[in-house]
Amino acid sequence: MGSIADGSNSDLMMPPRTELLLQHRLTMIEALLEEVLQDECGQDLVDLLQQLRSMCSPEGQAPRVPEAEVLKVVEKLELGEAIRAARAFALYFQLINIAEQHYEQEASIYRTHGSLQERHVAPAATADGAAASQTPYTDARGGSAEHIENSLYEMTPPDHNLGTFSWLFPQLKRLNVPTRHIQQLIDALDVKLVFTAHPTEIVRSTIRNKQRRIVSLLSDLDAVESGLAARTRADWELDAARSLLTEEIRFWWRTDELHQFKPEVLDEVEYGLHYFDEVLFDAIPQLYRRLSQNLQEAFPQLQPPQYDFCKFGSWVGSDRDGNPSVTPEITWQTACYQRDLVLQKYISAVTKLIDLLSLSMHWCDVRPDLLDSLEQDQLLMPEIYDQLAIRFRQEPYRLKLSYILKRLKNTRDRNSQQTQGGDLFAAPLATTLQEPQYYTNVEAFLSELLVINQNLQGTGLHCRELEDLICQVEIYGFNLTQLDIRQDSSYHSDAITEIADYLQILPQPYNELSEAERTQWLIQELQTRRPLIPTELPFSDRTKETIDTFKVARRLQEEFGQDICRTYIISMCHDVSDLLEVLLFSKETGLYDPATHRGTLHVVPLFETVDDLKRAPEVMTALFELPLYRTYLNAETSTETTENDNPEAEGAAPLALQEVMLGYSDSNKDSGFLSSNWEIYKAQQSLQKTAAPYGVSLRIFHGRGGSVGRGGGPAYEAILAQPGRTIDGRIKITEQGEVVASKYSLPELALYNLETITTAVIQASLLRSTIDDIDPWHEIMEDLSARSRKKYRSLIYEQDDFVDFFYQVTPIQEISQLQISSRPSRRRKGNTLDSLRAIPWVFSWTQSRFLVPAWYGVGTALEEFLTENSAEHLSLLQFFYAKWPFFKMVVSKVEMTLSKVDLQIAHHYVHELSKPEDRERFEHVFQQISDEYYLTRKLILMITGRKQLLDGDPNLKRSVQLRNGTIVPLGFLQVSLLNRLRNHQSLNAAGTGVRSQYSKGELLRGALLTINGIAAGMRNTG
């Protein structure tokens, strides 16, 4: 399930009734599961589970009985018994996760709707838009903001709807934010959420469907119990509802939890589309309505935003970085699949509108433009007229919608032909359809809907269903999402090296040129109209694949429109030449015109390591200094007439837009949690200052993962913790793996997540904090960051025994065999930490309960700082925690992660999985980790002023403790099964001829089932 660590809903304070209902449901679910297990496996399994749980502390951390006693029970289990126990614990975790998510949804409904009648009425607005109150407002573009800081960052208000539109707009009114600033921000609002296929989703889609079924059954139970209290339902209905839930649990128990095969890319595409089909397509109009209604209630004179203020992107099927399975053909099919889904949605919506809009010309007026449109349709599609003219002769709306429906179906049929369309780079597929019979672009479809809507409004009617459809068309178009292409920078430089060598146009290999020489040559090539790449490609497969990627981007834009694929992300971007190389390939494939300097592909650098984050401002400065690149940016921006880039004055030309992506995962793996977060924070500020003098507006793209070790955490707090002026009404964020499932599986949770993100963007843009500009605070954070990085790297990269320790005492080897992604777990061959991706790195530490990437090094940094002046520096850090959103966010994430660490079970992994000859040196490594953990915990509690971790967040504390006690026996089971598996492999490798009682496949299956279970219990993978 979704991650507590991702924090999508961890800030949801449940109302008392919902909390009590959750506790009641958890008790009931546990009883039903025990009933199912007793029927399916007998009382022995139930007794074993109870014995294992009773031997461990309910809070986790320590067995109640000596560890040897627990081991004695676990080690004597037959493999089948161990697997059944692991499955039972895993199912328990899945069920309580579902219950929590269901009642989190109930809490989100309460937060967004519960206080509409209770809100204080703000003072009436004066003529200039400021409220008639003495409360001061300081322009967000500069000056002191002490009052705002006190109002928003210090207080701990009782508002149950904090972070929602119903809280935000009355707050803006109370703080006298000028309406012109609010309107400018609303007009420029630009929220983009990008779904990725990163392999952190360990749960099968089959199991996801069962989870949704159980949520539905829980809702039925709630309704029946509520009805019993009101005496409107009967006892037999409660028994029936419980029986249905029991049977669903029984079906689940008999279903395999593990993926049956390694998913292909198109499987991942289908999985991602499911969330749009089931939840997001219909949720977006509701989000727009919520924002508009709450804005109008507080500021009746203001205009709502554009329908498409919140849009979606996707990397699924287009992200090539390290995944050779993503080919041009796959990307093309992905675009076709997306278009098919959205067309099916439109067909369904128009079919319903035909039924709904039964207005007769006998009883309502019809404007000439609709009648003219019908005459044109009769000429272009006479067969529809002949078929329906008599039936709908007095019902013009139905007739018009019937023409639209036929065009949509023709467009869908043509898309099906394109999906199977042979050579991608040949001429477009021939079709028997004429253009007026299908839609060549979404604008034609939208214009017809607008004609209908304007006619309805002109006669005093409003059709919500039609308005929702128009909203959906504005957001999703015919593409559903924008596909971002991503590739490693080395692919481009290697391809250019091979091309230049073949043509013999450089005195030495391109890769051996200095950065200045590369840049000079690239600029020269970008200014000539002469093609560089020959028509025939006598190159390596890798180079041909690189060239074909740009060709398919051009082909996609020709078929689907430019919006389908406008972003090309360069991972591991180090220099200016990395961006110019992509621009050169764009020129060679018709995506950039050297004559006009116009391009249709945004070149986006991704700065991932700490060194690259530090150099990012220098790289972007050098890039903006190039006249060719500035001209390209300006020309590119001028073609996007639909995008409002928040000009500083009315009528001003939009600023050139440059998107820059910042990577959380690799920087954390490289330098640790504190250093990574601080470098990203600094990079945002520096990049903003870098861009401003060149008239460039930045969009920061945050590459956040699900776990804290990869940038995860509550999105609302994370956005507010960004430095001032870096949001400015726009943000782009990745949503990955299990985070997608936790945030978007249920409609109200999806809406709540979208609402809190949008609220945070508006709040952070209008109510900026000047705290971000206090240099002495920055100097302290710089010092803490450097100390933390040094401590982290001393363990990860400088401790000689660490790599062996990691590979032996964590289940990294087994995790790599999980069938959860089409992408390899390593960027390249080799057994080094550098080649290992951040996701399995974090996943392994989470399974073994160390969670090292999310906290290690923080304690030492804080202790060394406090040692210099204990009392004064502690007061200062406590002041930071109270006043500075960034520092509070960092401390809160560390506190949450520490609450999930269990060093006693972690030590069990070390003791049992280490080879005998390595145990002594590994004990030394463990002691280093242990010392740092206890130091970090002590200092975090000193800063927060609390006695125990998570005392300030009782909901999260309850959720963590609910799982901790049961995860411990599952950890013992995992270690036992890993030991058996690894011993089996050692015996086979040694060729001793000794046969194991079980096959490798059986043992691996058992180990993988425990990985599934712990992931569910921790509510987190990577």
Averaged pLDDT score across all residues of the chain = 86
Looking up residue 408, the CATH number of its domain turns out to be 1.20.1440.90
553: tokens are 């981007």
Beta bridge partners of 131: 125
Reference 888, options 878, 874, 899, 898; nearest CA is 878
pLDDT tens digits, one per residue of 811-825: 998 887 776 555 555
Residues 528 and 624 in one domain: yes
Residues 514 and 555 in one domain: yes
What span, in angstroms and rounded, lies between the C-alpha atoms of 45 and 43? Answer: 6
Domain presence at residue 273: no
Reference 601, options 630, 560, 566; nearest CA is 566
For residue 88, the one-letter residue type is A
pLDDT tens digits, one per residue of 312-329: 999 999 999 988 999 999
Residues 347 and 411 in one domain: yes
Catalytic residue among 173, 274, 406, 669: 669
What span, in angstroms and rounded, lies between the C-alpha atoms of 106 and 648? Answer: 41
With contact defined as beta carbons under 8 Å apart, do 92 and 31 qualify? no
Residues 499 and 475 in one domain: no
- The domain boundary, picked from 441, 460, 480, lies at 480
Q: What is the pLDDT of residue 193?
A: 96
Residues 445 and 541 in one domain: no
Domain presence at residue 211: no
Catalytic residue among 173, 192, 198, 597: 198
pLDDT tens digits, one per residue of 883-899: 999 999 999 999 999 99
**669 catalytic, yes or no?**
yes
Write out the residue range of the structural domain in which residue 616 sits: 483-637+653-744
Helix (H, G, I), strand (E, B) or coil at 103: helix
Percent of the chain with pLDDT strictly greater than 70: 85
Beta bridge partners of 696: 656
What span, in angstroms and rounded, lies between the C-alpha atoms of 393 and 373? Answer: 15
Domain presence at residue 438: yes
Domain presence at residue 203: no
Residues 806 and 658 in one domain: no
Residues 867 and 940 in one domain: yes
- The domain boundary, picked from 924, 952, 980, lies at 952
pLDDT tens digits, one per residue of 158-183: 456 888 999 999 999 999 999 999 99
Domain presence at residue 290: no
In three-state form (DSSP H/G/I as H, E/B as E, the rest C), the secondary structure along 688-726 is: HHHHHHHCEEEEEEEECCCCHHHCCCCHHHHHHCCCCCC
Domain presence at residue 223: no
B/e letters for 718-728, b = 16+ CB within 10 Å, e = fewer, are bbbbbbbbbbb
Reference 499, options 599, 584, 568; nearest CA is 584
- Between 203 and 730, name the one with better pLDDT: 730
- The domain boundary, picked from 450, 480, 510, lies at 480
Residues 361 and 498 in one domain: no
Per-residue confidence at 428, pLDDT binned at 50, 70, 90? low
Q: What is the pLDDT of residue 693?
A: 95
Does the pLDDT at position 414 exceed 90? yes
pLDDT tens digits, one per residue of 561-614: 999 999 999 999 999 999 999 999 999 999 999 999 999 999 999 999 999 999
Does the pLDDT at position 431 exceed 90? no
Reference 199, options 272, 287, 140; nearest CA is 272
Residues 807 and 850 in one domain: yes
Looking up residue 610, the CATH number of its domain turns out to be 3.20.20
Domain presence at residue 917: yes
pLDDT tens digits, one per residue of 51-98: 988 877 666 565 656 677 888 889 899 999 999 999 999 999 999 989
Phi, psi of 632 (to 5 degrees): -60, -45
Provide the 8-state DSSP code for 853: G
Residues 979 and 1008 in one domain: yes
Residues 442 and 554 in one domain: no
Query: Into how many domains does the chain fold?
Result: 4
Residues 566 and 693 in one domain: yes
Does the pLDDT at position 310 exceed 50? yes
Domain presence at residue 979: yes
Q: Does pTM top 0.95 for this prediction?
A: no
